[in-house]
Amino acid sequence: MPKLDIKLPLHKGGHLRLLTFNLQVGIQTSAYHHYLTRSWQHLLPHPQRLKRLDMMSDVLGNFDIVGLQEVDGGSFRSSRINQVEYLAMRAGFPHHFQQLNRNLGRIAQHSNGLLSHWVPSRIEEYRLPGTLPGRGAIHARYGEGPDALHIFVAHLALSHRGRVRQLNYLSEIIQPLRHVVVMGDLNCTQDQLHAHERFTSAFPLHPVKPLLSYPSWQPRRGLDHILLSQSLQATNVRVLDHLFSDHLPIAVDVALPEQCRLALQ
């Protein structure tokens, strides 16, 4: 793997721009009844889907690392377009990674995605435990040694029991790491995350303010998160008001400690 030049991706003040987004395979949802009237788009292509991806790429390209959930890997419903690859190309990301979590053959390729202006030193993918299959997490490591930066992109279960098992699983992986970001659609509020003692013990939650991201047209719940280890400092935490999906994108600027920046060089 080529070494990273930390001076290029970081912005003024040494900040790293992160974003997480559940894009609902490019289905625009702006009212509850759309879950019924537009449900066919989960199985069939729509002529406006590509246009919405182009609009998304204009936003995603402003960030250094992007985590995606509910993105299609190139099936019939997406007109055979791998949405992770397409967004990376359109938004100018030199590196992307797709994790296929629920394979419905030619009909649907339900995936997580990572878009990055950095080349990770290593990527691993995890199949998260649960009553129903189809949930996963991407683990991208940037740099080497104990001060490497670890970024996890996850999409957790809807059920409380499933999330407990998945958070316990992730806790075992995160516990020995120092500089960690967990981002994604975790399907629970920050208060519910705090209730999982094993997870918060392994990964003490940085006091990043919870943001309301769901439903996108009238946000009432904070289901999408960017969580930071205590070694990382968050600035400019925000929700983006873009009605591309039934979730709103969440963004944060992160200041990396000096030892972490040195490990990336």
CA 234 – CA 256 distance, rounded (Å): 9
pLDDT of amino acid 1: 40
Single pTM value for the model: 0.93
Model confidence at 179: pLDDT above 90: yes
The residue among 20 and 261 whose pLDDT is bigger is 20
**What is the average pLDDT across 177-182?**
95
The residue among 47 and 186 whose pLDDT is bigger is 186
Model confidence at 8: pLDDT above 50: no
Model confidence at 5: pLDDT above 50: no
**pLDDT tens readout for residues 190-228:** 889 988 888 988 887 765 677 899 999 999 999 999 999
Indicate if the alpha-carbon torsion angle 211, 217, 223, 227 is positive or negative: negative
- Cα–Cα distance list, 261 to 22, 70, 181 (Å): 29, 31, 15
Read off the pLDDT band of 260 (50, 70, 90): confident
Averaged confidence pLDDT in the chain: 89
- Cα–Cα distance list, 61 to 19, 102, 115, 127, 232 (Å): 10, 27, 9, 28, 23
Model confidence at 7: pLDDT above 90: no
CA 207 – CA 193 distance, rounded (Å): 12
Read off the pLDDT band of 3 (50, 70, 90): very low
**pLDDT tens readout for residues 85-111:** 999 999 999 999 999 998 888 888 999
Residues forming beta bridges with residue 137, ordered by sequence position = 126, 154
CA 10 – CA 26 distance, rounded (Å): 29
**What is the average pLDDT across 20-25?**
96
DSSP result, 99-152: EEEEE-TTS-EEEEEEEESS--SEEEEEE---SSS--EEEEEEESSSTT-EEEE
Are residues 70 and 22 in contact, defined by beta-carbon separation less than 8 angstroms? yes
3-state secondary structure of 173: helix
Say if residue 45 is preceded by a cis peptide, omega within 30 of 0: no
Read off the pLDDT band of 235 (50, 70, 90): confident
CA 89 – CA 106 distance, rounded (Å): 23
Which structural domains are found in the chain, ordered by start? Answer: 15-264 (3.60.10.10)
Model confidence at 51: pLDDT above 60: yes
CA 57 – CA 127 distance, rounded (Å): 27
Are residues 223 and 194 in contact, defined by beta-carbon separation less than 8 angstroms? no
pLDDT of amino acid 143: 93
Indicate the Cα dihedral angle 166, 169, 170, 175, nearest 10°.
Answer: 150
